[in-house]
Amino acid sequence: MRREYTPEVESTRDDAVAVLNACAVVVAVTGVWTKPILLGMAALAVAVIAYFLQPQSKGRTIVAVILVTIIGMLLRWAFGYTVA
């Protein structure tokens, strides 16, 4: 049986991917205040799932999550807090 994709289905999928991308970034930013390595990996997992759900994706969210995680680690290290 062949599935038919209507504009509503595509719009729903785009919305779901946008929500997953936003969740990944929020988790990565939250990691700046708590544990950047642990939450950075969780955010990266969510970003990778969103990347594979959207075939035309360019992986910008993955890059953003990695950058936020690295910046969070550097900030916590600079101020003398634990990184892990």
pLDDT at 21: 95
Residues 13-38, mean pLDDT to the nearest whole number = 93
Q: Is residue 34 part of a domain?
A: yes
Q: Is residue 2 part of a domain?
A: no
pLDDT at 70: 96
H, E, C per residue of the chain: CCCCCCHHHHHHHHHHHHHHHHHHHHHHHHHHHCCHHHHHHHHHHHHHHHHHHCCCCCCHHHHHHHHHHHHHHHHHHHCCCCCC
Total of domains in the chain: 1
Q: Regarding predicted confidence, which is higher, 13 or 76?
A: 76
Q: Is residue 83 part of a domain?
A: no
Query: What is each CA distance from 47 to 52, 64, 69, 79, in whole angstroms?
Result: 9, 9, 13, 28
Q: Is residue 59 part of a domain?
A: yes
Residues 21-47, mean pLDDT to the nearest whole number = 95
pLDDT at 56: 83
Q: Is residue 84 part of a domain?
A: no
pLDDT at 82: 87
Residues of the domain holding 38: 7-78
Residues 63-72, mean pLDDT to the nearest whole number = 96
pLDDT at 1: 54
